[in-house]
Structure 1
Amino acid sequence: MLEKTTILFPSGEEAEMLAGVRGEKKACKKLLEMGPKLVVLKKGKEGCQIFSSGIVDGINVSGFSVKEIDPTGAGDSFGGAFIVGYLAGWDLKRIGQFANAVGALKVKFFGPMPNTSYKEVIELIEG
């Protein structure tokens, strides 16, 4: 299945389990060898790390500090936002920032489906 995957969004634990090795970075690099074009390591409030075959150590993208109310749906919001940026052709750092901001804004509200605007996301990114 991984050979048919374009973008994989594992947590550190999931990456290690899927790759069969210890260490998040090592696991993500091994997962790349198994087929995905990108491996995006989700690190919660710490942000994400994006791995691609052309990037030696991955791209670290910092998260955003917000008051967490409910994390339900944050990972899905992150993944959806990442795919939006990817399909729009943005560079990987910008995609990571956008996805991190969408995930951060999601946790500020209760429930899985907040009504966050693009403007709010950009305002968080630009600080």
Structure 2
Amino acid sequence: MLALAGCGLPRTISGGAAQAPASTATVTAPVPPIVTAPVPQTVFVPPPQTVTAAPAGIAASSQWYAQPSWINAQPWITITPAAGQTPCQWLYARGYTYAQAFAAWARNGYPANWSATGDGYPCQKSYGPQH
């Protein structure tokens, strides 16, 4: 009898005929995980928005036209009053609403001289009390 060590299993050959191994082993290789990359996406990030805050001492208002988001969405108004005319009179004479005048006041840095009454609200002599 001759014993052969093939693949770690002894095999015995007797009389020229091969005998079946005494035991068998099944080896299962691990399956590698399937990795998929995410699909690229286009992301739109809006530009930053400039927000102008009222300076200290300016009366806060709950009016919709006093909200920074609305003020900043308004187009810039170039104000060119005639001699002796206030910016508020100029805006009123050209048909701008009080809300537009308020936005122009805010966009111009809340100048104190736009509030003739000194109460922190602009253009009241031209448009009347609005708060």
Q: What TM-score bracket applies, with the shorter chain setting the length?
A: under 0.3
Q: Which protein shows a greater Rg?
A: 2
| TM-score, scaled relative to structure 2 | 0.21
